[in-house]
């Protein structure tokens, strides 16, 4: 049996990291060979050498893809939370991983602005930042996600976790 890649993607503040963390914790109760990769954490590990323009975002997404491939080739299951809204990354994942699960964590822009977890949206609205994915920077939402989680309202995290577990466990 080959290792699994669970790729949670969505805009900043959509809830993908929260879901991925809960999924990782749950999987870790059942097996030891699981890691959680997060796009922001990978940026930090690599010394914050990338910006947030489309080219740098794509470079970061390719780094996540290659790291996931490295780990999966060692039979380590990977839960990844990342914006990485590029069709070429989604397709590369589909081509590279036997057990690939693409989960789009969808959230209305109005709700993202309300949450404003990292202060990105208020900075953007005050013209203090550029290159905000999904706002002034074009993104490519998944064409064929295995699962779409509508995470606009305060939904039960455990219900969304169950949906993901049903998907990846068959």
The CATH number given to whatever domain includes residue 48 is: 3.40.50.300
pLDDT band at 114 (very low <50, low <70, confident <90, very high): confident
Q: Does the pLDDT of residue 126 top 60, yes or no?
A: no
pLDDT at 139: 86
CA–CA gap between residue 18 and residue 141 (Å, rounded): 20
Phi and psi for 148 in degrees, rounded to 5? -115, 125
pLDDT, mean of residues 106-122: 70
Q: Are 10 and 104 in contact (CB under 8 A)?
A: yes
pLDDT band at 128 (very low <50, low <70, confident <90, very high): low
Number of domains in the chain: 1
Q: Does the pLDDT of residue 141 top 70, yes or no?
A: yes
pLDDT, mean of residues 50-75: 93
Range of the domain at 19: 4-169
Cβ within 8 Å of residue 144, ≥6 positions away? 90, 102
pLDDT band at 152 (very low <50, low <70, confident <90, very high): low
Cα separation values, 154 from 4, 17, 66, 101, 137, Å? 28, 15, 34, 24, 26
pLDDT band at 121 (very low <50, low <70, confident <90, very high): very low
Q: Are 99 and 4 in contact (CB under 8 A)?
A: yes
Name residue, tokens 């890649």.
5
| Entry pTM | 0.87
pLDDT, mean of residues 8-13: 90
Alpha-helix runs per DSSP H in 97-156:
109-115, 120-125
């Amino acid at each position: 049996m080959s290792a699994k890649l669970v790729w949670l993607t969505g805009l900043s503040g959509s809830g993908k990291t929260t879901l991925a963390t809960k999924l990782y914790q749950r999987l870790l109760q059942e097996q030891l060979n699981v890691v959680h990769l997060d796009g922001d954490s990978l940026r930090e590990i690599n010394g914050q050498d990338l910006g947030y323009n489309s080219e740098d975002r794509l470079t970061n997404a390719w780094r996540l893809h290659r790291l996931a491939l490295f780990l999966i080739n060692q039979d380590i299951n990977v839960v990844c939370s990342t914006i990485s809204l590029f069709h070429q990354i989604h397709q590369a994942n589909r081509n590279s991983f036997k057990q690939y699960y693409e989960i789009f964590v969808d959230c209305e822009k109005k709700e993202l602005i309300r949450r404003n977890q990292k202060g990105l949206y208020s900075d953007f609205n005050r013209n203090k930042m550029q290159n905000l994915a999904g706002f002034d920077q074009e993104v490519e939402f998944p064409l064929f996600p295995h699962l779409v989680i509508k995470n606009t309202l305060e939904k039960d995290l455990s219900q969304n976790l169950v949906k993901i577990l049903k998907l990846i466990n068959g």
